[in-house]
């Protein structure tokens, strides 16, 4: 955190106005002043939003009519619309997110013990200032949201562009420092401004009936296509994949990343870009200081005529030169590595979700197969912030690992050749290769020896491997005894290699939140990995295409039943098969008898009594009484049968 704070402070120093330039604008001060319009925009959108349920507060103030509802900035679970708009909204707020790593933007001094409170206040302030960008995109009142979004985006774009182009210079990156740093934010603001203008034009066209309004659906088109692909018979002759598709990435048109993932990737890339610039400027400044200290030490050595320091000066100068060149060279590789990690996380997200959709959970640790519901939902809230922090912090760790490896390679290969010790270097390298080769050869020799002499033959010629059954047991015991002493020596070297490898890989993969850096059985200690598992489980349960399409079919069926009356459904809706037709005829008969109970006397089961009704007055009276009682019973069940046709007692009325 201290390293990130230093780089964030350096970033803020780069963003500060140069002493010689006076344009009357301070971005940090404008960020604090933007709280006022941000709160006003939030109140306006909240006033337009009505609450679904009423409370005691609404009874005391009935004139509000349920207004001042909750304004949702973006749907972090199931929304897949306007993904790039939300992504550029995250890009527009990247400046404020980077400032969260430093408390210098607070206009007043705070004691050291209050740093946690400062971070909390700063996070709330930055979130509230940037809230209108997201709220104006997600509000159902498009015209109001578009107008407010245009005004707010235009203000931020104007201030940012004015400050960037009137005072473009800086102390670290030269006269075009602010242009180099601020162009991603400016581009994001321009995109948001264009999006809000498009929203306003579209809403006007809808009101003029020049365009139809988009209906809200549970499913997206790509989810429907995914389900259709599952129901379609698989083609045995699949297309051959290219090298890029099989090794790097294969595009799936039936899968879309949610807004949360797209926004996290964009702000991570912008943060990496800014972090790389800050790292370059800070390291350039630091090595400049080291060069001045070296010159001062060199002059001091020359004046004092200290032979020990004079003998160390060439090595010190050489080390400073090597460190400077390797640090700047590894900056590029570390940046590319972090960008590749960010994109690879997207690939792993799609791969893991598709495996969960298929019911495959073998790639997950056993202890994390059934995460708690609260943990999964909280993981959705934590993921974006943690992924950005892991990416920025992982860049520094990866850069340091690359730097150490590069320095070791330079001192092992380049420096000996430069000093004319190439043959000695090759001899040492040959000894090292022979030693490692002998160790590996002995390991392979043990495996081959066991395979040839100490395993029984195959049970069937078609088997790929020999069975796990010993042969020549006495010789095997002697083999195990004599190799025991050698394996002790080899185990010491392997233990050291294992330790170094785990440290290097753990540091290298610290930004990979989709992969644990803990050993098997200790995955629950890795908070980042448990957040990843909880998030993909929550997305799996809420965005499974099969489940969402099934729910959409249920919604369509319910709406269709509510819009059509029962009698018109019986008469006008064609039947699909004989069973459905028979059920509809029975429902039509029941509906008719509900409205006309006296028709019960004319049903076919009473036709046999028509001849005796005229001859037997008592039987006629009993039949009429029976029809009246049945009519009353049917009328009492009228509401239940008409309004709730799904009742199990009335689904198949008897003929």
168 alpha-carbon distance from chain centroid: 35
Beta bridge partners of 455: 470
pLDDT at residue 536 tops 60: yes
- For a pLDDT cut of 90, what percent of the chain falls above it? 6
186-195, 254-263, 346-355, 630-639: which has the minimum mean pLDDT?
A: 630-639
Q: How many of the other CB atoms lie within 10 Å of CB of 395?
A: 28
In a 10 Å sphere around its CB, with 0-12 CB exposed, 13-18 middle and 19+ buried, how is residue 187 labelled?
middle
* Exposure string over 366-389, b if 16+ CB within 10 A, otherwise e: eebeebeeebbbebbebbbebbbb
Contacts with 264 (C-beta within 8 Å, 6 or more apart), sequence order: 90, 383, 384, 387, 388
Distance (Å, rounded) from C-alpha 81 to C-alpha 221? 11
* The pLDDT of residue 491: 82
Q: Any idea how long the chain is?
A: 655
Distance (Å, rounded) from C-alpha 279 to C-alpha 276? 5
Q: Find, among 533, 612, 598, 586, the residue nearest to 371 by Cα.
A: 533
Cβ-contact 120, 137 below 8 angstroms: no
In this structure, the dihedral spanned by the alpha carbons of residues 52, 58, 64 and 67, taken in order and rounded to 10 degrees, is -30
The token duo for 225 is: 């296509």
Mean pLDDT of 33-56: 83
Beta bridge partners of 470: 455
Distance (Å, rounded) from C-alpha 28 to C-alpha 30? 5
464 alpha-carbon distance from chain centroid: 42
Mean pLDDT of 434-449: 86
Q: Which of 5-14, 307-316, 490-499, 578-587 has the highest mean pLDDT?
A: 490-499
Determine which helix (DSSP H) or strand (DSSP E) holds 238, and give its type and residue range: none
Contacts with 428 (C-beta within 8 Å, 6 or more apart), sequence order: none
Q: Which H, E and C letters describe 107-166, residue by residue?
A: CCCCCHHHHHHHHHHHHHHHHHHCHHHHHHHHCCCHHHHHHHHHHHHHHHHHHHHHHHHH
More confident position, 1 or 243: 243
Q: What are phi and psi of 470, to 5 degrees?
A: -75, 150
Segment 464-508, tens digit of pLDDT = 888 888 888 888 888 888 888 888 888 888 888 888 888 888 888
More confident position, 91 or 402: 402
Contacts with 173 (C-beta within 8 Å, 6 or more apart), sequence order: 14, 180, 181, 277, 281
Looking at 305-411, list the stretches that DSSP marks H as alpha helix, in order from N- to C-terminal side: 307-357, 373-409
- For a pLDDT cut of 70, what percent of the chain falls above it? 75
17-26, 68-77, 175-184, 575-584: which has the minimum mean pLDDT?
A: 17-26
* The pLDDT of residue 640: 47
Cβ-contact 199, 145 below 8 angstroms: yes
pLDDT at residue 20 tops 60: no
* The pLDDT of residue 399: 92
The token duo for 171 is: 């102390």
302 alpha-carbon distance from chain centroid: 60
Q: Is the dihedral of CA 232, 235, 236, 239 positive or negative?
A: negative
Whether this prediction's pTM lies above 0.75 is answered by no
Mean pLDDT of 625-633: 57
Distance (Å, rounded) from C-alpha 655 to C-alpha 649? 14
* The pLDDT of residue 326: 92
Q: What share of the chain is helix, strand, coil (3-state, %, to 5)?
A: 75, 0, 25
pLDDT at residue 283 tops 60: yes
Segment 125-174, tens digit of pLDDT = 888 888 888 888 888 888 888 999 999 999 988 888 888 888 777 666 66
């Amino acid at each position: 955190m201290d390293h990130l704070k230093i780089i964030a402070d350096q970033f803020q120093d780069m963003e500060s106005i140069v002493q010689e330039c006076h344009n009357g604008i301070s971005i940090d001060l404008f960020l604090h002043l933007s709280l006022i319009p941000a709160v006003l925009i939030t109140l306006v959108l909240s006033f337009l939003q009505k609450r679904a349920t009423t409370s005691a507060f609404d009874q005391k103030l009935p004139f509000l009519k349920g207004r001042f509802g909750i304004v949702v900035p973006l749907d972090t679970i199931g929304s897949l619309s306007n993904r790039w708009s939300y992504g550029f909204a995250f890009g527009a707020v990247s400046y404020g997110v980077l400032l969260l790593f430093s408390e210098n933007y607070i206009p007043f001094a705070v004691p050291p013990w209050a740093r946690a409170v400062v971070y909390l206040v700063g996070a709330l302030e930055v979130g509230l200032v940037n809230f209108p960008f997201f709220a104006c995109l997600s509000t159902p009142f498009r015209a109001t949201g578009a107008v407010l979004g245009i005004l707010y985006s235009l203000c931020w774009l104007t201030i940012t562009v004015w400050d960037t182009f009137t005072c473009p210079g800086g102390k670290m990156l030269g006269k075009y420092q602010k242009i180099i740093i601020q162009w991603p934010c400016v581009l994001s603001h321009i995109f948001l401004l264009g999006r809000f203008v498009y929203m306003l034009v579209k809403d006007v066209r809808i009101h003029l009936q020049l365009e139809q309004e988009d209906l809200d659906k549970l499913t997206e088109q790509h989810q429907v296509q995914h389900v259709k692909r599952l129901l379609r018979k698989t083609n045995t002759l699949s297309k051959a994949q290219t090298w890029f598709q099989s090794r790097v990435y294969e595009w799936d048109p039936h899968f879309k990343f949610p807004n949360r993932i797209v926004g996290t990737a964009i702000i991570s890339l912008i943060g990496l870009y800014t972090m790389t610039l800050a790292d370059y400027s800070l390291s350039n400044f630091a090595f400049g200081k080291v060069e001045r200290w070296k010159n001062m030490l060199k002059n001091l050595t020359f004046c004092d005529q200290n032979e020990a320091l004079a003998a160390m000066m060439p090595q010190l100068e050489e080390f400073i030169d090597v460190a400077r060149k390797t640090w700047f060279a590894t900056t590029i590789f570390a940046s590319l590595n972090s960008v590749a990690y960010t994109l690879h996380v997207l690939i792993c997200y799609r791969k893991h979700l598709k495996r969960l959709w298929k019911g495959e959970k073998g790639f997950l640790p056993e202890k994390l197969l059934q995460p708690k519901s609260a943990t999964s939902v909280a993981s959705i809230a934590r993921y974006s912030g943690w992924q950005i922090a892991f990416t920025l912090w992982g860049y520094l760790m990866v850069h340091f690992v690359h730097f150490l490896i590069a320095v070791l390679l330079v001192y092992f290969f380049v420096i000996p050749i430069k000093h004319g010790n190439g043959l000695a270097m090759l001899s040492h390298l040959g000894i090292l290769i022979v030693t490692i080769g002998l160790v590996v050869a002995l390991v392979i020799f043990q495996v081959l020896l066991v395979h040839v002499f100490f395993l029984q033959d195959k049970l069937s010629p078609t088997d790929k491997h020999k069975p796990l059954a010993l042969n020549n047991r006495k010789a095997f015991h002697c083999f195990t005894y004599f190799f025991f002493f050698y394996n002790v020596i080899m185990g010491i070297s392997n233990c050291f290699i294992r330790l170094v490898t785990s440290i290097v890989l753990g540091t290298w993969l610290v930004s990979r939140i989709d992969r644990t850096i803990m050993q098997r059985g200790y995955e629950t200690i890795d908070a980042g990995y448990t957040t990843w598992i909880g998030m993909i489980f929550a997305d799996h349960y809420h965005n499974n295409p099969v489940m969402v399409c099934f729910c959409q079919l249920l919604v369509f069926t319910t709406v269709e039943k509510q819009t059509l009356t029962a009698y018109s459904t019986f008469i006008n809706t064609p039947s699909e098969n004989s069973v459905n037709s028979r059920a509809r005829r029975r429902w039509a008969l029941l509906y008719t008898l509900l409205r006309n109970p006296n028709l019960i006397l004319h049903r076919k089961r009473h036709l046999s009594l028509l001849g005796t009704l005229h001859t037997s007055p008592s039987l006629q009276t009993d039949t009429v009484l029976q029809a009246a009682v049945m009519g009353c019973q049917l009328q009492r069940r009228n509401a239940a049968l008409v309004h709730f046709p799904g009742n199990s007692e009335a689904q198949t009325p008897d003929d």
